[in-house]
Amino acid sequence: MSSKILIVGGYGAVGSIIAENIAEIYPEKVIVAGRSFYKAKKLAEKLHGKVIPIQFDVNNSEDFSILNEVKLIIMCLDQNNTEFVEYCIAKSIAYVDISAQYQTLKNIETLHYQAVHGHANVILSVGLAPGITNLLAQYAVSQLEDTDSIDIFILLGLGEKHGDFAYRWTFNNLDSRYRLTIDNKIKVMKSFTQPVNTNLLGKRNFYLFDFSDQYFLANTLNVPKIQTRMAFDVEWFTELTAILRKLRITKLFKNETVQNLVIRSFHHFPLGTDVYGVKVVAKDKDGNTTDFTVSGNNEGKITACVATEIALLVLNENLPKGVLHSHQIVKNIPLFLDNLKKYDSSFQYNI
């Protein structure tokens, strides 16, 4: 009988926290998987044998025999195609993906009807942004009739340790243009422009940024205008970035050599802290507003906590089948947020 929980990338920074959290509830049912058996084994030893280490490559079908024992997969790696997800759907294996990359999630979204017919749960937008941002937006809509706009503000700490991929994604999007549907019209937005000043762990400017949550919320909530902005915890760094963007100097950050230099600088001379924050402000047609916030330390940890709680929902609730985002399956959002405190004492919310 399928009873195991497979975490792909399970020995990474986020995956290892998910593994530890779930193994406390389902000891010896969690499989930590990745291309390095050595790293998986080291984590298993650290967790006193509560998890099972295996070598596993999503691009190698010879490794797929283990999936006969699996009822849930938590994907902690970004993928270039949907072949593995499609295989899971065909096997009716539940699938949770913590990716924040728009194209990755968009490609998986196209598998919705396959998942429905395959009686499979595929859950996306699992983390901070997208994830908690989605939940706060959904809750705002439930609390404010005729919501006309939603503004999402994301504060990221420069002292947070990220992988190179996350840094490169940020650099590549500092000088990007992207399209949003606002008031039923497609508009071209420029990253790190149109500042809005608001209070989130202190007053500061937040600038437009190409986070994926705003696209998926626009497609699932009946709200004409949804925009996401970001800032760093070091205010002067945020403002310097905005100036460089205005001067078009930020396009240099798309160069791989420049990226390598800046990434090394962040590793050796860290700025700021590992704080994070999210604020969602909803406004109705009469100008009435409501806002909700969350904050804490270590973005990677809260992503793991969200993934843990989503996984428990998938395992224990009779959820609708298909490809859905977190805000479409979490019915009691205040309770969900409160549950996150069990894993992370730094996590705070105000709704």
Instruction: Show the DSSP H helices in the chain as ranges.
Output: 13-25, 37-46, 83-90, 102-109, 112-117, 133-143, 164-173, 213-220, 235-246, 256-268, 299-316, 326-329, 333-340
Q: In what order do the strands lie in the sheet with 30-34?
A: 51-55, 30-34, 4-8, 70-75, 94-97, 121-124, 322-325
Look up residue 248 and give its two tokens: 């078009």
How far, in Å, CA of 344 to CA of 327, rounded? 21
- The amino acid sitting at 310 is I
Q: What is the pLDDT of residue 243?
A: 96
Residue among 314, 302, 301 at smallest CA distance from 26: 314
325: which strand partners?
A: 124
What predicted TM-score, i.e. pTM, was given to this entire model? 0.95
**Cα 292 to Cα 48, 321, 333, 335, distances in angstroms:** 40, 29, 12, 15
Residue among 1, 283, 36, 3 at smallest CA distance from 15: 36
Q: What is the pLDDT of residue 162?
A: 74
Q: What is the pLDDT of residue 268?
A: 81
If DSSP codes are grouped into helix, strand and coil, which group holds residue 125?
coil
Q: What is the pLDDT of residue 165?
A: 78
How far, in Å, CA of 237 to CA of 234, rounded? 5
Q: What is the pLDDT of residue 164?
A: 74
Q: What is the pLDDT of residue 262?
A: 86
The answer to whether the CB of 213 falls within 8 A of the CB of 152 is yes
State the 10-residue block means of pLDDT for the chain, 351 residues long: 89 95 96 96 96 95 93 94 96 96 95 97 97 98 95 94 81 92 94 97 97 96 96 96 94 90 83 95 95 96 97 96 98 97 95 93
